[in-house]
Structure 1
């Protein structure tokens, strides 16, 4: 029952995924304190996407870079591994995206992200540091009712450097059902939004989050095993405040509760060698984004 409730909440409450598809630039800072756990998590992220209009009507190419630095601070001095090997991680993705209109008002969106993900102790890159992410989505806007617009996004998402390293359905249904209220139900994010004023919005949201990285040269665990992969996965939900400076520039501030949080060290065959205690329930995030 402990895990069924947040999973149910994930599918029922709503969150907008449109931001992921339309951000041209973003500064992102995430912090999970180590209260009640053995590790503190900090992530700083920057991404930029440059749209290129193609010759055919409605077709665009997106080129971009997505960079993250993940810092882990371990509290327990008796953890059975060298903490210096696992303090800092670099994640770098190169984005190639494409979108085109289809028949009956649908639009196709494709995003490919080859990249690297490794610990900061790495002196040079290896094949194990290479990762791949990709998304294929189909988008349909319904504008029959001007006062109550809606949008559907369906597709598939995969990434080797997020917390869930297997294909996930990408589903998002948005609807504005009252002048000041809208919802977006989907996977991996959902929300319920209240438009307080033109520049101020509040959201109740839930999401999947986390990261996965290669540990170059391995980290000795339990005295005789080598961890080659670190994986952090979580499910959380909370309150988000948005301030819209302009139609294209906004600030998001989030405070959330972690329903489920896992930190694992794994071998090269993805077998778990060690689970690091992490009962921290607090999650804070600030995002400054420039969008289409």
Structure 2
């Protein structure tokens, strides 16, 4: 795979892994229209994680994440688009976290994944394996300090095409009671607290997917077996705290990079469905610890 695609897939994988460390439930809608076209990409995402206390400060977490992707291809293409109408990505989340000492917490995650068009028989090509190990230093609740959180980790994902773990780094710090920021890989933002229940932020977000086509087809004389989307978007985000842990959020902006591609079995680029930057929207509600 081209190095840029590998890098972007890794970033998206890291975002999913980091979100699943803190989110217990999430329901989300995403929308990206194709510029100067009738095509549009929409996605419905639902996530549920259930922590089971093993002993003091130690939890086993079991959960699942469901993604239903609608490509809505309306332009004229040199192939039948019916096999690409919908994609399904289903993750099973298995995790364990414990407190190592007064400063550090460790977390381990294993995520078998089904990513496919699901218009045929499920085979090994539809199944992938993700995982990660994370170390978290959380000083957001202490007194007489500027709150911060450091996350260091390694993630592994078979869809990235790289046969070794990749690093994850994230650093959050509160500058004062109103202003905070997050830097690192994969997330960067600057957040401003308007009041006790409302936050605004500027952000750079990464999004995307990789899925297997159960009905491979020929496009311009080449066989296609997979499809991938990689997105880098920037804009403004809004959060409203319905309760202490229940949050409504909306992120809107413009893509800085977008690449929706049909690929062969070696993950080479066969046909580009969309590479024009466009409007970006992601909104939903989440319950987090």
Q: TM-score, normalised by structure 2?
A: 0.88
Give the RMSD, CA atoms, in angstroms: 2.3
Alignment of structure 1 residues 138-217 onto 2, 5 Å: 138-142=135-139, 146-160=144-158, 166=162, 168-217=166-215
Q: How much has 1:92 moved relative to structure 2? A: 0.4
Q: How much has 1:269 moved relative to structure 2? A: 1.1
**Structure 2 counterpart of 1:218:** 216
**Structure 2 counterpart of 1:237:** 234
Q: How much has 1:129 moved relative to structure 2? A: 0.5
- Give unpaired runs (5+ residues) of structure 2: none
Whether the 8 Å CA contact 1:205–1:240 is kept in 2: the answer is yes
**Structure 2 counterpart of 1:51:** 51
C-alpha spacing 1:145/1:175, structure 2 compared with 1 (3 Å) = farther
SS at match of 2:71: strand
- Identify which of structures 1 and 2 has the higher relative contact order when contacts are C-alpha pairs closer than 8 Å and 6+ apart: 1
**Structure 1 counterpart of 2:59:** 60
Q: How much has 1:28 moved relative to structure 2? A: 0.8
Whether the 8 Å CA contact 1:36–1:279 is kept in 2: the answer is no
SS at match of 2:72: strand
CA distance in 2, matches of 1:180, 1:130: 44
Bigger shift: residues 103-112 or 200-209: 103-112
SS at match of 1:54: strand
**Structure 2 counterpart of 1:96:** 94
Q: How much has 1:65 moved relative to structure 2? A: 0.8
CA distance in 2, matches of 1:251, 1:179: 21
Q: How much has 1:278 moved relative to structure 2? A: 3.1
CA distance in 2, matches of 1:214, 1:232: 12
Number of equivalent positions: 274
CA distance in 2, matches of 1:274, 1:86: 13
**Structure 2 counterpart of 1:36:** 36
- Residue by residue over 1:238-282, the C-alpha shift from the partner in whole angstroms, topping out at 9 and shown as x without a partner, is 111000011110000110210000011111111111122331421
SS at match of 1:85: helix
CA distance in 2, matches of 1:165, 1:215: 17
Q: How much has 1:130 moved relative to structure 2? A: 0.5
Q: TM-score, normalised by structure 1?
A: 0.87
Q: How much has 1:131 moved relative to structure 2? A: 1.2
Q: Which residue among 220, 224, 228 is the counterpart of 1:227?
A: 224
**Structure 2 counterpart of 1:127:** 124
- Residue by residue over 1:89-146, the C-alpha shift from the partner in whole angstroms, topping out at 9 and shown as x without a partner, is 0110100011011146111111111021111422x21111001121211101236663
Alignment of structure 1 residues 108-119 onto 2, 5 Å: 108-119=106-117
